Amino acid sequence: MKSYLKNLLRVLREPSMIFSRFVWRYDIIYPVTSWFNPKQKWLTRVIPNTWCDKVELIPQLLFTCLIDFVEEEKGLGQLNIDWKKELEDGHVSQEYVDDVIKVYTELRDVYNYIKTERVQLERQHNESYPDYPLPTELKGKDYHELYAETNRLEKLINDKDQWAMHAIVTHVGCLWT
């Protein structure tokens, strides 16, 4: 059962709670206003209103989460920190600094893939389909010859997407500022 329904049922069981400001603010008003004015609008814009398979939706959501983290929250700021003073004072260890730099460098690489390389690969993939109707020089060739470049690019995009999604999920704990 949804938590806001549980909260409303709690009020019905204890009628004296109706007079509590806390109940009105957090159990009634906040869920209703959040329904009409979602707090994560950037995420609700990504989810299509039409049917979309989960295999397409999951990468879109993960990639959008990383893009929002980098562009809106300025999440890769950890790479610009000068750690000398903290290291000298003993507040952090060199191992910690190396780990932070490694994690955020990998997230930056994933972000660069999503924003630049993936767009180029998708464009090349869309342009790699043979023309229809087939030109005379392509007639008589089998499927594997006609679509060899298309299949190669599709596999490359899929492999890189898997790498990017794995990196995002691995470092999900770092995606907060």
Two tokens at 100? 């932070």
| pLDDT digits 0-9 by tens, 26-59 | 666 777 777 788 778 888 888 888 888 999 999 9
Q: Quick one: what percent of the chain has pLDDT higher than 90?
A: 54
Render the burial of 77-87: b for 16+ CB within 10 Å, e for the rest. Answer: ebeeeebeeee
pLDDT of 1 higher than 50: no
- pTM for the structure as a whole: 0.77
Q: What is the dihedral of CA 100, 105, 111, 112, to 10 degrees?
A: 170
- Whether 17 shows a pLDDT value over 80: the answer reads no
The token pair that represents 153 in the structure block: 């690019």
User: What are the tens digits of pLDDT across the range 92-148?
Assistant: 999 999 999 999 999 999 999 999 999 999 999 999 988 887 777 777 788 888 889
Mean pLDDT, the chain, whole residue set: 86
